[in-house]
Amino acid sequence: MSIAHSLPRIAYAALIAASLLVVSSPAGSVEGGATINDTARYLAGLEPSASSPLAPLTRGEGWAAHARFFDRAFDALERTQLARIRAWSAATMRVRRPTVFYTFSGPDFLYADAFFPGASTYVLVGLEPVGQIPDLLRMPYGSIGSSLRNIGYSLHSVLNFSFFITRNMRAELSSGQLGGTTPILFVFLARAGKTVRDASLINLDADGNEQPDGRGARSAAHGVKIVFSGSDGRTQTLYYFSTNLADDSVGSSGFLKFSERLAPVDSLVKSASYLMHKSNFTKIREFLLTNSASILQDDSGIPINFFDRQKWQLQPFGRYLGPIEVFPQHYQPTLAALFARGNPSPIDFGVGYRWRPRESNLLLAVQKQSTTAGALRVP
């Protein structure tokens, strides 16, 4: 159980607030720019490089407490969740596509990376705002602590339950000078051991073409593009787009046209509010079914009745106990029958709305006729 699992939200907030009320700075101003990787490390509670102009900002007790809290929380999350997911993924998904597509994700890079490590491209999409690329040296020293506190608040549910609560995220990420998903993505990349190489704000035109974003830019899909690398030094790319996936918006936003160029992809869906069970999310549902070589999802994803058994091989994992009380109308008898007769292998981690271990479910759907050209094979 992670440290966040053991803390109710009020206690969590109090601890973060007490830790970050003061972020000490040395007398005088700091000259020169900070690298984007040092910025990501600072936000994540990890020491920037010794020569970084951000290094003096780590000497106060406020940042030190922030770092200690994140050390404990992320170490526990790694032990109880992420390491187990990576082991499960390596044993289960032997063939992977270069691109991972994660709908209704918010800034949840941690779980995309755990389930699909080593992908060349990750595309995350949600309603949460993108925000700005952090420039800590341009912020008033007194505002850094409260901004870090907002980051701590916004991470509460993903550390606690493996998913973000959208309405809370939108409120928390709309405030402060480190608002938006971009600082969260920086934290997750740094805590996942990645090196951030570059980041830029982008948007999509109606034809799905990527272009620089800026003040007043007219687009229905604003995003951030982050180039990073892992321990092997290989260049990887993470996109996050803030856009509406409902039928009356997604068709004209350019997002589907952009994404089609990356197909076939491996798709991930979890804690998706059962949106693709509804009649106004048919386009994104059909997009996933058409352009995915595999779909890994919990029961909040695509209803099982939309999978053509002639085209898809379905493999259940864990336990299907039905939806939580908030979503009782989305119980799936066909999915329950699949779990009942399929002798699903257990999973030793929690995922989705039923986040407790031994209560979670996953369904791996693999296209039977999908070509393996260009796919990545797990040793």
Per-residue pLDDT of 274-303, as tens digits, reads 999 999 999 999 999 999 999 999 999 999
Nearest in space to 158 (alpha carbons), one of 202, 191, 123, 198: 191
**Integer distance in angstroms from the first to the last C-alpha of the chain?**
30
Model pLDDT for residues 133-153, shown as the tens digit of each residue:
988 888 776 667 767 776 766
- Reported in sequence order, the residue ranges of the chain that DSSP labels E, i.e. its strands, are 95-96, 99-102, 121-126, 195-204, 210-212, 222-229, 235-242, 265-269, 292-297, 312-318, 361-367, 376-377
Task: Work out whether the CA dihedral 351, 353, 356, 357 comes out positive or negative.
Answer: negative
- The per-residue pLDDT for range 252-274, each reduced to its tens digit, is 999 999 999 999 999 999 999 99
The residues that bridge with 297 in the sheet, in sequence order, are 269, 363
User: In this predicted structure, what is the pLDDT of residue 375?
Assistant: 66
336 close to 361: Cβ distance less than 8 angstroms: no
Strand, helix or coil for residue 122: strand
Q: Give the pLDDT confidence score for residue 180 in this predicted structure.
A: 87
Beta bridge partners of 361: 318
Pairing of the two strands 312-318 and 265-269: unpaired
pLDDT confidence of residue 217: 83
Dihedral through CA 108, CA 113, CA 116, CA 118, nearest 10? 140
Distance of CA 134 to the CA centre of its chain: 18
The order of strands in the sheet holding 235-242 is 210-212, 195-204, 222-229, 235-242, 121-126, 99-102, 265-269, 292-297, 361-367, 312-318
| CB-count burial class (<10 Å; 0-12, 13-18, 19+) for 33 | middle
* pLDDT reported for residue 13: 44
Q: For residues 229 and 378, what is the distance between their CA atoms, to the nearest angstrom?
A: 19
Q: What is the DSSP string of 52-76?
A: STTGGGGSSHHHHHHHHHHHHHHHH
Q: Looking at residue 369, what is its pLDDT?
A: 81
- Joined together, the tokens standing for residue 169 give 């995220």
262, 101 in Cβ contact below 8 A?
Answer: yes
Intervals of the chain under pLDDT 70: 1-32, 141-143, 146, 150, 152-154, 156-177, 370-379
